[in-house]
Amino acid sequence: MFLTRLVYASTIEQGFDLSTVEEIISSARKHNSALDVTGMLCFDRHYFLQCLEGSRTNVNAVYQRILNDKRHSSIIMLDYREVSARDFSHWSMGYIPSSSLTAPLYLRYSGASEFNPYHMSGESAYQLLLDLKNALPTIS
């Protein structure tokens, strides 16, 4: 089974709060563990950026569920490719609080000092997630 990685960005719909994030993470962890899908979700007040990795079939199944979720909109795939190894293998879905997203990080990976994943290349968005993972080794 091919190992693949998908990175997408989306816009948070109004009415979103911390309990919504908790619901998303909890159902993501339940479904992703069953499908051996791993990854990372990061967000601020406006946008989500998520990376999913796993078999081609399972990553696509999870992505299709996510596409139908009304809690976000303007979902755009930034990158999809076959990969030789996972980078988030310990996390059925790690999540990064917005406080970890800092201006120097935005500047490193995009042309502006505000977090806007729509302005990042797929590669930059993925590298940002990797940097965040490495900066926060204790979250799960």
Ligand X SMILES: Cc1cc2nc3c(=O)[nH]c(=O)nc-3n(C[C@H](O)[C@H](O)[C@H](O)COP(=O)(O)O)c2cc1C
Contact residues for ligand X, defined by CB under 6 A = 10, 24, 27-28, 31-32, 41, 48, 50, 52, 62, 65-66, 69, 71-72, 93
CA pair distance 132, 105, nearest whole angstrom:
9
Q: How far is the CB of 81 from ligand X (least distance, A)?
A: 18
Residues whose CB is less than 8 angstroms from the CB of residue 118 and which lie 6 or more positions away in sequence, other chains included: 9, 47, 74, 76
Residue 28 vs 101, nearer CB to ligand X: 28
Residue 113 vs 140, nearer CB to ligand X: 140
Q: How far is the CB of 3 from ligand X (least distance, A)?
A: 16
Residue 27 vs 74, nearer CB to ligand X: 27
CA pair distance 76, 133, nearest whole angstrom:
22
Q: How far is the CB of 136 from ligand X (least distance, A)?
A: 18
Beta carbons of 55 and 80 less than 8 angstroms apart: no
CA pair distance 14, 34, nearest whole angstrom:
30
Residue 19 vs 104, nearer CB to ligand X: 19
Q: How far is the CB of 48 from ligand X (least distance, A)?
A: 4
DSSP E strand boundaries for 13-139: 38-43, 47-55, 72-82, 94-96
